[in-house]
Structure 1
């Protein structure tokens, strides 16, 4: 079985590779692609895989862009933290998905589902036509998405509501997620950064890296570093450096100007 993985987080991609090899040592990973641009180029120049794993949100955009610009002739399993509506839509249309962090049991079930669907005389054309219909429906629904306006945070052994508009940034520290307000107060948040990323308005918040989600109003400046990275200066400041990788620099610049 030839496999392609589209994933911009090295650790997640390596974990998926390891799990695939554990399940079936004969699985051949043809490539791990990190961007929309490199993925489109790869599919144009190489034979189609038997199956591909698509992370929905990658460094330079959405994997949906790949689907719209590439003539598919292979099945896809999504790796995602998308909302329940999207997950139900994928499932209804026989497109499987894996919630991060990926578990071996879930991956095994997805592989078995693929083998069941495509070991029979089924056409991928109809499968992919229905996939494109799902994408259109999801894009239409995204225009009316209601993002979080407040969050429950931990304060002195109590849960209190905090307006999202008062938050300067979210950060990961010692495996716990915190938010820091514009008044320089920090609170623990009982959510992962991945879940927060999907619940926050993307026009106001940006996933800078694995440790930070920053508010547009908190960014005071950005300094160019070696290898085309950016270092952010936030207000209020944080003791850790906030670095934008070169893969996200273009996205960040577009976001900060919007």
Structure 2
């Protein structure tokens, strides 16, 4: 079962992941999304999960804003500290509404309800023709997306272009953004990691954590790290540790296999 979590509180997301793994170790948490913007982008560029957990109030707005944009075809379990949104939640593909703090018993019942309603052989979907149309539109949008191919950087009072394919890693150091190239050159970049994440080809680059985006071809290997995390070693060498949190480990492994 592939699962997506919309949750901006790290401790809550971690607790939900732990409970899910306890209930069913085969559950794969594909990604934890913290904002409306990141969630819309992810759903537009990836296949739908089997089920998603939506916190209603998140960092930059309401998760209802996400649902209005993506027209979900997958079942949703809402998680929130407030009960006044229950009626609105059930206008979408909601199968349950869990109040925080989430209890294991309530979560087990919600998962059981999902399993009873949705099977591997048949998923009940309304407006199937609209779904097919939406999927085609998403596919065409994905094909037509133009990724950034180069970046202008300052070097000895000059502006020089650096090809995206030549960059091994983007990282924040002392609140400034830098890139390191495949041939071990370092340059300052005048943008943000958030903007870079939208500009880079997600098949080639991965947002490892809040401080770093790494290129697939720059990764030499990954090793297990404390508390089910992963630690990356790059071909070029890199002084700072690049840690993949356990919330992103599954998504990282799937990305590496693409």
* Map of 2:255 onto structure 1: 255
Q: Secondary structure at the match of 2:248?
A: helix
Structure 1 residues 123-157: Cα deviation after superposition (integer angstroms, max 9, x where no partner):
x959x99xx98975455412321111111112123
The correspondence of residues 1-258 of structure 1 with structure 2, limited to 5 A, is 6-8=6-8, 10=10, 33=13, 54-57=35-38, 62=43, 69=51, 79=60, 125=91, 136=135, 137-138=137-138, 140-258=140-258
Q: Kindly state the Cα deviation for residue 226 of structure 1 after the two structures are TM-superposed.
A: 2.0
Which runs of 5 or more structure 2 residues have no equivalent in the other structure?
A: 21-33, 72-84, 95-125
- The separation in 2 between residues aligned to 1:54 and 1:171, in whole angstroms, is 21
What CA distance in whole angstroms lies between the structure 2 residues aligned with 1:68 and 1:204? 25
- Going from structure 1 to structure 2, the CA distance change for 1:33 and 1:223 (only over 3 Å counts) comes to closer
Give me the whole-angstrom Cα distance separating, in 1, the residues matched to 2:206 and 2:53. 31
Deviation readout 1:202-227 (Å, 9 max, x if unpaired)? 11111111111111111011111221
Cα RMSD, aligned residues only: 4.6
Q: Secondary structure of the residue that 1:247 maps to in structure 2?
A: coil
- Displacement of 1:254 after TM fit? 1.2
Task: List structure 1 segments (4+ residues) > 4 angstroms apart after TM superposition.
Answer: 32-38, 61-72, 74-78, 132-139
Alpha-carbon distance in structure 1 between the residues aligned to 2:50 and 2:244: 27
In structure 1, runs of 5+ residues without a counterpart are: 14-31, 41-52, 81-86, 94-117
Preserved CA contact (<8 Å) 2:8 2:35: no
Note the C-alpha offset of 1:55: 3.6
The number of residue pairs the alignment matches comes to: 187
- CA distance in 2: counterparts of 1:54 and 1:135, whole angstroms: 22
> In structure 1, how many angstroms separate the alpha carbons of the residues matched to 2:230 and 2:241?
10
CA contact (8 A) 1:8 1:34 kept: no
Distance 1:198 1:35 in 2: 29
What is the DSSP-based 3-state SS (H/G/I as helix, E as strand, rest coil) of the residue aligned with 2:252? helix
Does the 8 Å CA contact 1:8/1:35 hold for their aligned counterparts?
no
